[in-house]
Amino acid sequence: MQQSYSKILVTGGAGFIGSHLVDRLLKEGFAVSVIDNLSAGRRGNVAHHHDRKDFHFIEGDIRDTTLVPKIVAGVDAVFHEAALVSVPRSVENPLLTNEVNVSGTLNLLKASVDAHVKRFVYASSSSVYGEAETLPKHEKLALQPISPYAVSKLAAENYVEAFHAVYGLNTCCLRYFNVYGPRQTYGPYSGVITIFVNRLLDNEAPLIYGDGKQTRDFTYVQDVVEANMLALTKQSATGEVFNIATGTQTTINQLATMLQQIMDKTNLKPVYAAPRLGDIKHSYADVTKAKDLLQYNPQMSLKDGLTKLVKWYAASSQAQRTL
């Protein structure tokens, strides 16, 4: 593995998914650079690597057209995780979402072509499917993004594909479905699992938007990291787009019940609020393509993943779980 690629850049590497990817890459023997502006990520997520010679942290912005080419020069592969990651936030601030998620990606793609990067792996999102009615969602479906966030993730994906077609950049897009696990920052823009766990820890009932019958495909962060490693090394990944999920469907009501049982908080009955703008009703993935071409095989059941997450919270301080 290390023969073809030795230096890797992870954008957004101080964030939730990026920092787990950094851990794995360093463990596998790669030299890793991170660019992160710490708008959502935390230095603490990668602080355990700061003394290593093969780890380099750059506090900077992916939109910086002077800095990014300097950082990408000499890099073999780029994992592009940095983004403004939230549907509600994108509804509040669509222009900033576009700048970071689209222009930032374009800046990285251009620098990657100029630096002859050998592999560019892009963190896309299930949100690109939007309200497409077919379930499970498969990669050939017509895309109908319904939030500024989803549009920005799709626009960036289209740029990635254009750079593969036009400049021959060796790309791969991974559409993650609702990723959860340790280190996701808790705040108004967090994923539902992180919000539910934190509310339950504070003895607050789960807050459910809509009737709770909406479904999601919850994917443990280590399965996402594994998919990225496969996307780095498999030739069959080149120029392709893959769903990265578990292929199972869980309602938000089921999720709340499962977490309450694991955390022994069944006395806190969920409270319901109006559905949020831009949220889709159902989302779960067909992962056949990733299984066939990448040999991707998700390992973590929702129950086991939630149990692991709850144990992580029990061992973490308040400072580690909030921004």
Ligand X SMILES: NC(=O)c1ccc[n+]([C@@H]2O[C@H](COP(=O)([O-])OP(=O)(O)OC[C@H]3O[C@@H](n4cnc5c(N)ncnc54)[C@H](O)[C@@H]3O)[C@@H](O)[C@H]2O)c1
Interface with ligand X, residue 234, by CB under 6 A: no
Q: Which of 100, 108, 154, 256 binds ligand X (CB under 6 A)?
A: 100
Residue 210 CA: distances (Å) to CA of 203, 230, 251:
21, 37, 11
Q: Are 105 and 156 in contact (CB under 8 A)?
A: yes
Nearer to ligand X, 81 or 223 (CB): 81
- DSSP of 138-154: -TTSPPB--SHHHHHHH
Shortest Cβ 292–ligand X spacing (Å): 22
- Collapse the DSSP code of 201 into the 3-class scheme (helix H, G, I; strand E, B; otherwise coil) and give the result: helix
Find where tokens 């959860």 sit.
180
- The CB-of-211 to ligand X minimum distance in angstroms stands at 22
Confirm or reject binding of residue 156 to ligand X (CB under 6 A).
no
Contacts 24+ apart (CB under 8 A), 103-107: 103/63, 104/61, 104/62, 104/63, 105/62, 105/80, 105/156, 105/159, 105/160, 106/156, 106/159, 107/62, 107/63, 107/64, 107/65, 107/68
In this chain, which stretch among 176-184, 247-255, 261-269, 313-321 interacts with ligand X, using CB under 6 A?
A: 176-184
Alpha-carbon distances of 150 from 13, 85, 144, 192, rounded to whole Å = 21, 10, 9, 17
- Of these, 25, 85, 225, 255, which contacts ligand X (CB under 6 A)? 85
State which residue, 117 or 174, has the beta carbon closest to ligand X: 174
* Per CB under 6 A, 179 contacts ligand X: yes
Q: Cα angle vertex 138, ends 213, 18, to 5°? A: 80
If binding is defined by CB under 6 A, does position 171 make contact with ligand X? no
What phi-psi label fits residue 74: left (phi over 0), alpha (psi between -120 and 50 degrees) or beta?
Answer: left
Question: Taking the CA atoms of the chain, what radius of gyration do you get in angstroms?
Answer: 19
Element (H, E) at 223: helix 221-233
Work out whether 284 is an interface residue with ligand X (CB under 6 A).
Answer: no
9, 14, 25, 72: residue in contact with ligand X (rule CB under 6 A): 14
Q: Does 34 bind ligand X (CB under 6 A)?
A: no
User: C-beta of 107: minimal distance to ligand X in Å?
Assistant: 10
Distance between CA atoms of 270 and 307, rounded to whole angstroms? 20
Query: Least distance (Å) from ligand X to the CB of residue 264?
Result: 26
- Structural contact between residues 30 and 2, judged by C-beta atoms closer than 8 angstroms: yes
Task: Determine which residue in the list 8, 32, 40, 71 makes contact with ligand X, applying CB under 6 A.
Answer: 40
Show Cβ contacts of residue 39 under 8 Å, excluding neighbours closer than 6 positions: 84
* Binding residue (CB under 6 A) for ligand X from 8, 10, 12, 208: 12
> Per CB under 6 A, which of residues 181..220 are in contact with ligand X?
185, 191
For residue 202, the minimal CB distance to ligand X (Å) is 21
Window of 32-40, 206-214, 266-274, 288-296 that interacts with ligand X by CB under 6 A: 32-40
- Tell me if 32 contacts ligand X by CB under 6 A: no
Among 71, 72, 82, 193, binds ligand X (CB under 6 A): 82
Count of residues that bind ligand X according to CB under 6 A: 31
Residue from 46, 104, 228, 231 binding ligand X (CB under 6 A): 104
Q: Classify 165 as helix, strand or coil.
A: helix
Q: Which residues bind ligand X (CB under 6 A)?
A: 12, 14-18, 35-41, 61-63, 81-85, 100, 104, 123, 125, 153, 176, 178-179, 185, 191
